[in-house]
Amino acid sequence: MKKKVAIVSLSGGLDSCVTTSIANQEFDLALFHANYKQRTEKRELKSFHEIGDYYGIEKRLIIDFPHFSKIGGSSLTDRKITVKKADLSNKFVPDSYVPFRNANILSACISWGEVIGASAIFIGAVCEDSSGYPDCRPEFFTAFEKMANLGTRPETNIKIITPVINFSKKEIVLKGKELDAPLHLTWSCYQNEVEACGICDSCALRLRGFQLAGIEDPINYKTKPNYI
Amino acid sequence: MKKKVAIVSLSGGLDSCVTTSIANQEFDLALFHANYKQRTEKRELKSFHEIGDYYGIEKRLIIDFPHFSKIGGSSLTDRKITVKKADLSNKFVPDSYVPFRNANILSACISWGEVIGASAIFIGAVCEDSSGYPDCRPEFFTAFEKMANLGTRPETNIKIITPVINFSKKEIVLKGKELDAPLHLTWSCYQNEVEACGICDSCALRLRGFQLAGIEDPINYKTKPNYI
């Protein structure tokens, strides 16, 4: 029987790579990538393609979202705001929050999904042990799925699947290992494109995950603080 | 007292122009426009700016959505699909439906609205007497608003306002006249950029509205069939 088609929103980071490895077990995949003039745009795109090649997935759509840098409001896209050193206390919405980014990405994925007849969109959002982004919460994705099915053709019925949303970073690392996901090809740093900085929110969360899992992170870091 | 800020998604067509005139009564406005490689992209942008000038609104954001033409699936963005002659029977989702377009536009508006502190997004969607687009139905916008408030910062609270959604085209024309909206600056044709074709879905709906209102449509048409 022909497998159903799913789109994965693949940034090229750890979470979306492991999400791809999970989705790949059950679906024929199509890969979506967003360029939004984030600081590490080129490096993320490289990881996107390398992970796509690893899984032999041909269907890929790379979309530019120029408005995030035009509107600013995030340290990832606005060069006037500095990428801060990590604060893992999880009390506030951090500066790296890109306003409503996931809704923009998912909307484009639904548009594409409606044309290619996809049954699901996978997105590697993480809620627990994560960075306090409002558009990474389970209730947001539930509401999005409902909205999407009201705003598309009657025959379109696309699920939003967030397989790692309640995972800790440690669990994501372990799941990636279990499924032989190409973690060495991923990129998570918000700041640098050659050597990961090791100190931004994203590096800190990732490194803590690997450290708690007792596994060596296979990518290169400028500095590797101990986060546990 | 300082007025609250609202964003209007202004395509430059009749419905969004009248929506702007309604929003302008109560809010300080910021205008959003989407280029998505639709056939009449340049002509719509001209109307957008002329309507913005008419109301003296300085805050404008013009965003390119390259994915609609990349994914195809609509006669507005896919040159392989012909723009059909109007069928006002309202039985099917028409070929001009751009998959999930309004969700993509609204998501970008919410991102911008979150940065500039907007209280509302106005969009000139029309449900009755309209063209059967799933992303123009009231229940879609209600679900979108709920989703948007779950996916943004706790202090962000943006309403989605669709003031003409239950209007007939005739009522939209009359409301525009009542509020002195610059209907002569609008553009609705899906097909042409110099003279409106008069026979596509959008021209047919517009012309019928003017004809039922007993008002002369002030823009130029190649042909002006009688639709009543």
Cα radius of gyration rounded to whole Å, chain B = 17
| CB contact (8 A) between residue B139 and residue A150 | yes
pTM: 0.92
| CB contact (8 A) between residue B152 and residue A144 | no
- Average the pLDDT over each of A12-26, A78-92, A110-124, B186-200 and give the range with the smallest value: A78-92
Q: How far apart are CA B47 and CA B185, in angstroms?
A: 6
| CB contact (8 A) between residue B111 and residue A144 | no
Q: Chain B: residue nearest A73 by CA?
A: B115
- Residue B169 backbone phi and psi in degrees, to 5: -60, -35
Q: How far apart are CA B151 and CA A72, in angstroms?
A: 17
Q: Chain B: residue nearest A99 by CA?
A: B111
Q: How far apart are CA B57 and CA A31, in angstroms?
A: 40
pLDDT on residue A95: 80
Q: Chain B: residue nearest A103 by CA?
A: B107
Q: How far apart are CA B111 and CA A99, in angstroms?
A: 5
Burial of B85 (0-12, 13-18, 19+ CB in 10 A): exposed
How many residues are there in chain B?
228
- Residue A66 backbone phi and psi in degrees, to 5: -75, -15
- Asked whether residue B208 carries a pLDDT value surpassing 90, the answer given is yes
DSSP code, position A221: B
- In the structure, what pLDDT confidence band is assigned to residue B67 with cuts at 50, 70 and 90? confident
Give, for A211, the enclosing helix (H) or strand (E): helix A201-213
Contact A33, B42 (CB under 8 A): no
| Mutate: best of B38, B109, B111, partner A, most A CBs <10 A | B111
- Identity of the residue in B135, B137, B151 whose CB atom sits nearest the CB atom of A135: B151
- Identity of the residue in B68, B72, B108 whose CB atom sits nearest the CB atom of A67: B108
In whole angstroms, how far apart are CA B121 and each of A69, B133, B146?
A: 20, 19, 13
Q: What is the 3-state secondary structure (H, E, C) of A20-61?
A: HHHHCCCCEEEEEEEECCCCCHHHHHHHHHHHHHHHCCCCEE
Higher pLDDT, B89 or A117: A117
- Asked whether residue B215 carries a pLDDT value surpassing 80, the answer given is yes
Q: Chain B: residue nearest A144 by CA?
A: B147
Residue range A175-182: mean pLDDT, rounded: 98
Q: Token digits for B91? A: 């039985």
Contact list in A for residue B66 (CB cut-off 8 A) is 63-64
pLDDT on residue B75: 78
- Identity of the residue in B104, B112, B137 whose CB atom sits nearest the CB atom of A111: B104
Strand partners, A64: A35
- Identity of the residue in B67, B101, B140 whose CB atom sits nearest the CB atom of A63: B67
- Identity of the residue in B72, B103, B115 whose CB atom sits nearest the CB atom of A151: B103
| CB contact (8 A) between residue B152 and residue A135 | yes
pLDDT on residue B92: 67
Q: Chain B: residue nearest A116 by CA?
A: B71
Residue range B125-140: mean pLDDT, rounded: 83
Contact list in A for residue B160 (CB cut-off 8 A) is none
- Other beta carbons within 10 angstroms of residue B72's beta carbon come to 17
Q: How far apart are CA A153 and CA B14, in angstroms?
A: 25
Q: How far apart are CA B71 and CA A180, in angstroms?
A: 32
Contact A77, A98 (CB under 8 A): yes
Q: Chain B: residue nearest A93 by CA?
A: B153
In whole angstroms, how far apart are CA B42 and each of B179, B190, B205?
A: 27, 12, 22
DSSP chain B: -PPPEEEEE--SSHHHHHHHHHHTTTSEEEEEEEE---TTHHHHHHHHHHHHHHHT---EEEEE-THHHHH--STTT-TTSPPPBP-TT--S--TT--TTHHHHHHHHHHHHHHHHT-SEEEE----TTS---GGGSHHHHHHHHHHHHHSS-TT---EEE-TTTT--HHHHHHHHHHTT--GGG----SS-SSSB-S-BHHHHHHHHHHHHHT----S-BS------
- Asked whether residue B84 carries a pLDDT value surpassing 80, the answer given is no
In whole angstroms, how far apart are CA B133 and each of B74, B92, B100?
A: 12, 9, 9
Q: How far apart are CA A42 and CA A147, in angstroms?
A: 32
| CB contact (8 A) between residue A143 and residue B139 | no
- Asked whether residue B157 carries a pLDDT value surpassing 60, the answer given is yes
Residue range A153-170: mean pLDDT, rounded: 96
| CB contact (8 A) between residue A143 and residue B140 | no
In whole angstroms, how far apart are CA A82 and each of A39, A73, A94, A150?
A: 11, 11, 12, 39
- In the structure, what pLDDT confidence band is assigned to residue B129 with cuts at 50, 70 and 90? low
Residue range A134-152: mean pLDDT, rounded: 95
Look over chain B and give the mean of its residue pLDDT values, rounded to a whole number: 91
Higher pLDDT, A129 or B44: B44
- Identity of the residue in B93, B116, B151 whose CB atom sits nearest the CB atom of A153: B93
> Which domains are seen in chain A, by residue range?
5-213 (3.40.50.620)
pLDDT digits (tens, 9 = 90+) for A198-221: 999 889 999 999 999 999 999 999
pLDDT digits (tens, 9 = 90+) for B170-207: 999 999 999 999 999 999 998 888 999 999 988 999 99
Q: How far apart are CA B8 and CA A42, in angstroms?
A: 33
Residue range A17-30: mean pLDDT, rounded: 98
- In the structure, what pLDDT confidence band is assigned to residue B38 with cuts at 50, 70 and 90? confident
- Identity of the residue in B66, B115, B140 whose CB atom sits nearest the CB atom of A71: B115
Q: Chain A: residue nearest B74 by CA?
A: A115
Minimum distance, in Å, between the CA of residue A170 and any CA atom of chain B: 25
| Mutate: best of A100, A142, A150, partner B, most B CBs <10 A | A100
pLDDT on residue B211: 97
- In the structure, what pLDDT confidence band is assigned to residue A129 with cuts at 50, 70 and 90? low
